[in-house]
Amino acid sequence: MYAQTQDRIVTNPMIMGGKPCIRGMRVTVDMVVTALNSGTTAQELLADFPYLQNADIEAARIYVHEQREQL
């Protein structure tokens, strides 16, 4: 896992059923990437979730890309 994602993507069985989350918050990588794939812009996500940062969104993208490479 790249350093960019290692500090931002957390997997904890006590948070969201162990799904990969942004900085341990109840925002999953899947939620972010699904929104982006549905046409939501990063700016819209940041407005909807003011506690997110641009680096969180980029980390989610990188995380998903890394997971696909491992398949």
Q: Give residue 69's pLDDT.
A: 79
Q: Give residue 6's pLDDT.
A: 78
Distance CA 7, CA 42 (A): 19
As a whole-number percent, the residues of the chain with pLDDT over 90 amount to 80
Q: Give residue 71's pLDDT.
A: 65
CATH assignment of the domain containing 44: 1.10.10.10
Q: Give residue 3's pLDDT.
A: 58
Q: Give residue 50's pLDDT.
A: 95
User: Phi and psi of 52, rounded to 5°?
Assistant: -80, 155
pLDDT tens string 17-34: 999 999 999 999 999 999
Q: C-alpha angle 20/21/22, rounded to 5°? A: 135
57: containing domain: 3-70
Residues of the chain with pLDDT under 50: none
CA dist 67 → 29, 41, 45, 48, 62 (Å): 12, 22, 22, 26, 9
Q: How many domains does the chain have?
A: 1
